């Protein structure tokens, strides 16, 4: 009698719906088995233990309360800015970008550079190009 009333008022779940639910559960079980064997899960478990450790929590609390001015990076940035404005470093960058340095490096690759020390290069020593490079 109870079965009659359930069927009449829709208390019995249709077979197609039960089979669909079963297929979804089987898919979920296979996906669970794949994830259980994955490398990502192993990495997650390692990171989970690291993140939940007391040492990590203390370090997190310190870093949350820290200000940028208290960090080593801030000190390094200030030191770099001070050094960037020194005359010696500014001169270095000016020379590095100068045209005369490029001429000198180009001249150094030519065969005339090797002739400077020889007897044949005596005339070359007194040329205008060599004089400007020498003043550099």
Using one digit for the tens of pLDDT, what is the confidence trace for 30-76? 999 999 999 998 999 999 999 999 999 999 998 888 888 888 889 99
pLDDT at residue 56 in the model? 92
Confidence tier at 95 by pLDDT (50, 70, 90): confident
pLDDT at 53: 93
- pLDDT value, residue 123: 61
Identify the band that residue 93 occupies on the pLDDT scale cut at 50, 70 and 90. Answer: confident
Q: Tokens standing for 104?
A: 């000198």
Do 133 and 103 meet the contact criterion of CB atoms below 8 Å apart?
A: yes
120 pLDDT exceeds 70?
no
Residue 124, pLDDT above cutoff 70: no
Distance CA 21, CA 107 (A): 82
Alpha-helix residue ranges (DSSP H) falling in 10-53: 15-37, 39-51
**pLDDT at residue 105, as a whole number:** 83
Domain limits, the chain: 2-66, 67-96, 98-136
Rounded CA separation 46/29 (Å): 24
């Amino acid at each position: 009698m109870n079965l009659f009333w359930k069927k009449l008022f829709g208390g019995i779940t249709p077979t197609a719906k039960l089979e669909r639910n079963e297929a979804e559960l089987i898919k979920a079980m296979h996906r669970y088995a794949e994830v259980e064997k994955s490398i990502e899960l192993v990495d997650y478990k390692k990171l989970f233990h690291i993140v939940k450790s007391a040492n990590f929590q203390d370090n997190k609390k310190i870093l949350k309360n820290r200000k940028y001015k208290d960090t080593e990076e801030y000190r390094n940035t200030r030191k770099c800015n001070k050094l960037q404005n020194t005359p010696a470093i500014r001169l270095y960058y000016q020379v590095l970008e100068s045209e005369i340095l490029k001429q000198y490096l180009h001249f150094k690759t030519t065969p005339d550079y090797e002739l400077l020390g020889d007897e044949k290069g005596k005339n070359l020593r007194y040329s205008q190009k060599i004089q400007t490079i020498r003043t550099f």
